Amino acid sequence: MKRLDSVQSPEDLRKLPEEELVPLSGELREFIIDIVSAKEGHLGASLGVVELTIALHYVFNTPHDKLIWDVGHQAYGHKILTGRRTRFNTNRQFGGLSGFPKREESEFDAFGTGHSSTSISAIVGMALAARLKGDLEREHIAVIGDASIASGMAFEGLNHSGVLDANLLIILNDNAIGIDPSVGALKRYLTNVKKGTAKEENIFECLNFKYSGPIDGHDLPAVVDALRKMKEIKGPRLLHLITTKGKGLKQAEENQIVYHAPGRFDRKTGELTPSASSGLPLKYQDVFGKTLVELAEKNELIVGITPAMPTGSSLKFMMEAYPERAFDVGIAEQHAVTMAAGMAAEGLIPFCAIYSTFLQRAYDQVIHDVALQKLPVIFCIDRAGLVGQDGATHHGIYDLAYLRCIPNMTIFAPMDERELRNIMYTAQQGLENPLAIRYPRGKGVNQDWRTSFETIPLGSSRELVTGSSIAVLSIGHIGNEVTEVLNSLGNPKEIGHYDMRFVKPLDEARLLDIFSRYEKIVTLEDGCLSGGFGSAVLEFANIQKFTGRIHCLGIPDRFIEQGTVEELRKEAQIDQEAITRCLIQLLHEVR
Ligand SMILES: Cc1ncc(C[n+]2csc(CCOP(=O)(O)OP(=O)(O)O)c2C)c(N)n1
Ligand SMILES: CC(=O)[C@@H](O)[C@H](O)COP(=O)(O)O
Ligand SMILES: [Mg+2]
C-alpha cells in the first residue's frame, strides 16, 4: 500500500515517522503529475511546493492552525493531503472540486483564493481575531510566491502586520517566476539575497519581521526544521524558501511558462499532447497581440502594458517586437491602469491588456485616474465572459456592468476577430475618451483573421439578419451562437439579428428603428444580467416608452462555478438550447 493511501488527513500524516516524509513527497509528486497529465490544470506551482506542503501539515496543527495559499493554484498537494485525494480527479470539473482553495469545500481551506496577493491581509485578519478571542497559541500561516508578494495589496499587508504582535508566519515561496518571469526591483533584490550579494538591509527585517532563510524548499528535513524553529518564535515572521517551479518533471522545470498550466501531456514522456487550441482560428489573445504589433509598426505612439500576463494576454508579441514600448509591470493591475493614464496624459496611445476578472482589482483607477480625466486609455479586456475550469474567481462576467456605469467610458465587444482588429485600428487613430474592448478566452471563429482594417464608427451596430417581429440583439462573441440557432431553426423570416457592438454608447437610432418595427426583443450577453447590456436596452426602451416584450438572456445573479464553457453556458441559460427555447416560444406568440 502506498504511504499516500494511508494519509486521509494531516492527522494521519503527523503520525508518520519523519523518515517517511521524503518517500511520501515522491508519491505525492507522482500523484499530482498523474492527475494533471490527464485532467489538465495548474501543474508547475503545485510541483514546486510538494515538500513545503507536507512540512506545513506535519509541523502545524491544521486546521486549527490557519493556512492560506496565495493565488491557490499551488494547493493541489494541500487538497490531496486534506481528505480530497479520492475526489481529486474531479478537480476543476463541473460539480467537482474547485481548482483553488475554497472555504465551503474543506475546513482546511482557511480562505478562498484565486486572485493573487490576498493571503497576507486575510491571515492578518485571522491572527487579530485569534488574539481578540484569547486564542494566543493558534498559528497563522500564509504561503505567497515571489511574484504575488510584489503586488500592492501584499505590501499593504506586510506593512500593517509588521507592527502587530499578532501570531503570523509568512512563507515566501521564491522560484523567481510568476506565470512569466517575475519583474521589478524586488525580484532583483531577492536574486541578490539568494546569491548572498545583497548590500541592502533585509527588507523584511526593516518591516519588523523575524526573517529566516533563504533555504532550499525541496530539502524536506531542512524545511521541517526551519518551520519548527519558526514555530517557537512569536509575532510576525517570514521564512524565505528557494524552490523550482515544476520540480520533479523535467519538461515542467525546463519550460516553466508553458507548464504553469500545460493542458494534457503524456504521463510517461512529459511531452505536451497536441491540442485543438493550436492552429486556426487563432485565439482572440493572439489576434490582439499580433494586431497590436501590426499597428505599432506604423504608429510609434502605441505602447502596451500587461500586469504579469505577457503570455496569457499575448502582449508577448509586442514585447518581442518593440521591447521599449511594451511593459510587464508585474502583478500590479492598479499600477498598470494608472501608469497607462499617465502615458495617455502625455499623448501616448496605451493598450492596457488585462483579464476582465483581474481588472476588478483596479476599478478605482479606471474611474478616478482614467475616466474622470477623460484619458484615452484602451483597455483590452481578455477572458471576458465565462472562462471555464478556473471557475467563479476567474469568470469575466461583470465588466459590462462595472464599466457601463462610469461616465466617459466607451465599451465595445467584438463579435469576431475582424471586429477586434477593426476596433483596435479605430482606437489608435485617436480617441477623446477611454475605450474598453472585451473579448473571450479561447479561439475566434474565422480561418482568415488578418483582414484589412476598417474604421468602426463609435456607437454603431450591424444588422446581420432582417426580421419582421422578433429582434435578437447580441453583444460580442456570444452573437455567433445566435447565428447557429437561426440556422438550426431554418432562419424564420420573423427573426432579425443585430450585433449591437457597443454597450456604451448604445446605437440609439438603431434601437428606435427596432422599437418601431418589432414587437418582441431578445437581448443576449456573456455577462451578468444585473447592470449589463440587457439592462442598458431596458433602460432605453423604458425612456422611449417601447411597449413590446423584452426578454434578457445573460448570467443570473449568482456565482457560476467551474466546468467547460459549454457546461457553464448551459448552467447560466445562455447556451444555444436556451436561446432556441426562447425563440420558439416567441415564434408561437407572434404566429
Ligand atoms: C490579481 C491577479 N492577477 C493575476 C493573476 C494571474 N496569476 C496567477 S498565478 C500568477 C503568478 C504567481 O506567481 P507567484 O506568486 O510567484 O507564484 P508561483 O506561480 O511562482 O508559485 C499570476 C500572475 C492572479 N491570479 N491574480
Ligand atoms: C491561476 C491564475 O490566475 C492564472 O493561471 C489563470 O488561471 C490563467 O488563466 P488562463 O488559462 O485563461 O490564461
Ligand atoms: Mg513564483
**What are the tens digits of pLDDT across the range 143-163?**
999 999 999 999 999 999 999
Average pLDDT over residues 454-480: 98
Among 40, 51, 139, 333, which one carries the catalytic annotation? 333
361 is catalytic: yes
Task: Flag whether pLDDT at 355 surpasses 80.
Answer: yes
462 is catalytic: no
Q: Ligand 2 atom 8: the closest Cα is on which residue?
A: 312
Determine which helix (DSSP H) or strand (DSSP E) holds 534, and give its type and residue range: helix 533-543
| pLDDT bracket for residue 165 (50, 70, 90) | confident
| pLDDT bracket for residue 581 (50, 70, 90) | very high
Spell out the residues 6+ positions from residue 435 whose beta carbon is closer than 8 angstroms to its own. Answer: 376, 377, 378, 379, 409, 410, 411, 412, 423, 427
* Residue with the three cell numbers 511531452: 271
Tell me, what's the pLDDT at 217?
Answer: 98
Q: What grid cell was written down for 46?
A: 503545485
Among 245, 247, 283, 520, which one carries the catalytic annotation? 245
| 449, amino acid identity | W
Q: Is the CB of 311 within 6 Å of ligand 1? A: no
Average pLDDT, the chain: 97
> In terms of Cα–Cα distance, which of 411, 523, 448, 510 is closest to 478?
523
> In terms of Cα–Cα distance, which of 179, 154, 217, 177 is closest to 42?
179
Task: Flag whether pLDDT at 536 surpasses 80.
Answer: yes
Q: Ligand 1 atom 17: the closest Cα is on which residue?
A: 145
Average pLDDT over residues 478-494: 98
Question: What's the CA-to-centroid distance between 475 and ligand 2, angstroms?
Answer: 24
Task: Flag whether pLDDT at 1 surpasses 80.
Answer: no
For ligand 1, mutation pick of 143, 179, 245, 395 (most atoms within 8 Å of CB): 179
Question: What's the CA-to-centroid distance between 179 and ligand 2, angstroms?
Answer: 9
Kindly state the DSSP code that residue 530 receives in the 8-state scheme. Answer: T
Query: Is 115 known as a binding-site position?
Result: yes
CB 213 within 8 A of CB 241: yes
Nearest ligand, CA 45: 1
| pLDDT bracket for residue 275 (50, 70, 90) | confident
Q: Is the CB of 244 within 6 Å of ligand 1? A: no
In DSSP terms, 550 is beta-bridged to 521
Q: Is the CB of 116 within 6 Å of ligand 1? A: yes
Q: Is the CB of 257 within 6 Å of ligand 2? A: no
Distances (CA, A) of 330 to 290, 309, 377, 408: 22, 8, 19, 28
Q: Is the CB of 74 within 6 Å of ligand 1? A: yes
Q: Is the CB of 361 within 6 Å of ligand 2? A: no
What is the rounded CA–CA span in Å between residue 573 and residue 576? 9
Question: What's the CA-to-centroid distance between 335 and ligand 3, angstroms?
Answer: 20
Q: Ligand 2 atom 10: the closest Cα is on which residue?
A: 312
Domains and CATH numbers, the chain: 2-260 (3.40.50.970), 284-440 (3.40.50.970), 462-590 (3.40.50.920)
Task: Flag whether pLDDT at 295 surpasses 80.
Answer: yes
CB 357 within 8 A of CB 393: yes
Average pLDDT over residues 380-395: 98
Average pLDDT over residues 405-425: 98
Determine which helix (DSSP H) or strand (DSSP E) holds 496, and give its type and residue range: strand 495-499
Atom in ligand 2 nearest the alpha carbon of residue 387: 12
What are the DSSP calls for 438-459, one per residue?
A: E--SSB-S-S---PPP-PPPTT
Q: What grid cell was written down for 525?
A: 450577453
Q: Is the CB of 84 within 6 Å of ligand 1? A: no
418 is catalytic: no
Atom in ligand 1 nearest the alpha carbon of residue 115: 26
Average pLDDT over residues 476-488: 98
pTM of structure: 0.98
Burial of 488 (0-12, 13-18, 19+ CB in 10 A): exposed
532: left (phi over 0), alpha (psi -120 to 50) or beta: beta
Atom in ligand 1 nearest the alpha carbon of residue 45: 21
| pLDDT bracket for residue 294 (50, 70, 90) | very high
Q: Is the CB of 71 within 6 Å of ligand 2? A: yes
Distances (CA, A) of 413 to 91, 250, 418, 440: 31, 41, 12, 9
CB 214 within 8 A of CB 16: no
Determine which helix (DSSP H) or strand (DSSP E) holds 567, and give its type and residue range: helix 565-571
In DSSP terms, 210 is beta-bridged to 237
Give per-residue pLDDT as tens, 207-226: 999 999 999 999 999 999 99
Task: Flag whether pLDDT at 306 surpasses 90.
Answer: yes
Question: What's the CA-to-centroid distance between 228 and ligand 3, angstroms?
Answer: 24
% the chain with pLDDT above 70: 100
Give per-residue pLDDT as tens, 361-377: 999 999 999 999 999 99
Task: Flag whether pLDDT at 66 surpasses 90.
Answer: yes
| Collapsed DSSP state (helix, strand, coil) of residue 583 | helix
Give per-residue pLDDT as tens, 7-50: 999 999 999 999 999 999 999 999 999 999 999 999 999 999 99
Task: Flag whether pLDDT at 118 surpasses 90.
Answer: yes
Tell me, what's the pLDDT at 166?
Answer: 86
Q: Is the CB of 173 within 6 Å of ligand 1? A: yes
Tell me, what's the pLDDT at 200?
Answer: 86
Provide the 10 A C-beta neighbour count for residue 63: 16
What is the rounded CA–CA span in Å between residue 75 and residue 111? 12
Average pLDDT over residues 441-469: 97
Give per-residue pLDDT as tens, 496-510: 999 999 999 999 999
Atom in ligand 1 nearest the alpha carbon of residue 74: 21
